[in-house]
Structure 1
Amino acid sequence: MIVLEEVTRTYPGGVTALDAVSLAVDPGELVAIVGPSGSGKSTMLHVLGTLDRPTSGRVRIDGYDVGALKDAELSALRASRIGFVFQHFHLAAGTSALDNVADGLLYSGLRAGERRRRAGAVLERVGLGHRLDHEPHELSGGERQRVAIARAVAGDPSLLLADEPTGALDSVSGDGVLTLLRELNASGTTVVVITHDREIADALPRQVRMRDGRVIADETRYGSPVAGVAR
């Protein structure tokens, strides 16, 4: 699903956010990418999500060589293959949960009625079938994150990237979101969670640790740790 080969991302001023990172994630994996502020996690998210191109190295997402794609092709790849979940939800105020999710399918080519039907089905799937008409201010933090996850997976992406998905939640709501991500993964979605929280990372099957733009450890709970290298 994901292959990074010696990927480096350098910004003006000589700041190297990713430093010769190699990483492979198989279809159907549930992976945490963990590290402190400044470790390169955010740049990794942008590269994995094709929001940013590396300065050097090669990136393949779901079989596509990102470096060979034009901007319009990258947009199509994101729309059809990648779902994003962010810490602060990014839901439209004054818009129902149903329409927040349906609007995420605007560029899918589906008619409005089909977009709303799919939105209702995926909200039911995440346990919010009874909250379709509620606006974000009427929902709890955990419910808002579930709406955001529903929006991210409504198009049935192969890859779900979750950036600090529990960071704005209390522990009970956060546990519920992690349970939902595990359920989505069990249904076949590849899930990558970007987090600074070691406790969250420790709860997931595979943990990739970053520091100073490098992968310093790659560990699987049910296998031998692989330190300092990608699988």
Structure 2
Amino acid sequence: MSAATGTAPGPAAPAAELEDVARHYPGGVRALDGVSVRIEAGELVGIVGPSGSGKSTLLNLLGTLDTPTAGAIRIGGHDVGALGDDARSALRATGIGFVFQQFHLAANITALDNVADGLLYTGLPMRRRREKAAAALRRVGMADRAGHRPHELSGGQQQRTAIARAVAGDPALILADEPTGALDTATGEVVIGLLRELNAEGAAVVVITHDREVAAGLPRRIQVRDGRIAADERTDGARSAAVGGVRP
């Protein structure tokens, strides 16, 4: 059952769906223009494109951090445009996990409490938040670092802590924005491997990246260019039938 609406959307609901979505800004800037894309529950997807292509805008819309100028967005079957601010916050807290290039960890608290603080908006008491945080840190191989502060962790350990924070609430959708951008190649491969494991456990994972090697290893790749979907391809070479407005 969803904290956002109090109803279950049904097993067939995609993790995320955008229908003819546009996001325009003052001055005639068209960050996104007529984007339609469907991400199924349990999919692993890479979104690639050059700087300024609209990738970050797409992530903000998928994460309900921004609202579209036009079009419809559904997350887990819920029409985001029909939700009030509190309901959108509840949807983010319970249904979406965020992983960013910069780890955004609070400097003066432990890894355990950094993860637990990510559950603040779930309404759980502190004891339960810490229990779930400890379980999430075990899940990403960080149980032995739970009492360490960020400056006592390597870059890879900080990113794994950030991933633990993202998955502590068992979201159905994980959005990873350049998750390897601040890491060396070997550590980045570990992080991508961890995201693959989380996907194998059932979460839909969307990786936004400019790294074509990272994208090439993902089963589905959506290319964004000039605010539109330029291509949507799968490992088997098939073009997705779930995307509209694809330019040749």
TM-score by length of 2: 0.90
Residues 34-113 of structure 1 aligned to structure 2 (within 5 Å): 34-113=48-127
Matched residues, number: 231
**155, 178, 186: which one aligns with 2:192:** 178
AA in 2 matched with 1:70: G
What is the one-letter code of the residue matched to 2:140?
Answer: V
Counterpart in 1 of 2:228? 214
Matched, 1:198 2:212: yes
Can you list the C-alpha shifts for 1:117-159, whole angstroms capped at 9, x where unaligned?
1111110110011111111001010000000000011011110
Establish whether residue 167 from structure 1 lines up as the match of residue 181 from structure 2: yes
CA RMSD of aligned residues (A): 1.5
The alpha-carbon distance between structure 1 residues 227 and 66, as it changes in their structure 2 partners (threshold 3 A), is closer
**Cα distance, 1:225 vs. partner?**
3.1
1:188 counterpart (202, 205, 210): 202
Consecutive unaligned residues of structure 2, counting only runs of 5 or more, are 1-14
Question: Aligned partners of 2:222 and 2:81: how far apart in 1?
Answer: 24
- Given residue 172 of structure 1, which amino acid in structure 2 is its aligned partner? A
AA aligned opposite 1:65: D
Q: Distance in 2 between matches of 1:228 and 1:182?
A: 22
Does structure 2 retain, via aligned residues, the 8 Å contact 1:219–1:227?
no
Deviation at 1:228, TM superposition (A): 11
Within 1, Cα distance between the matches of 2:161 and 2:206?
Answer: 18
Counterpart Cα distance in 1 of 2:45 and 2:138: 25
Q: Is the Cα contact below 8 Å between 1:217 and 1:228 reproduced in 2?
A: no
* Counterpart in the other structure of 2:129: 115
**For the Cα contact (< 8 Å) 1:219–1:226, is it kept in 2?**
yes
Instruction: Return the alpha-carbon distance in structure 1 between the equivalents of residues 164 and 72 of structure 2.
Output: 31
What is the one-letter code of the residue matched to 1:53? Answer: T
Kindly provide the CA deviation profile for residues 154-175 of structure 1, in whole angstroms up to 9, marking residues without a partner as x.
Answer: 0111100000000000001100
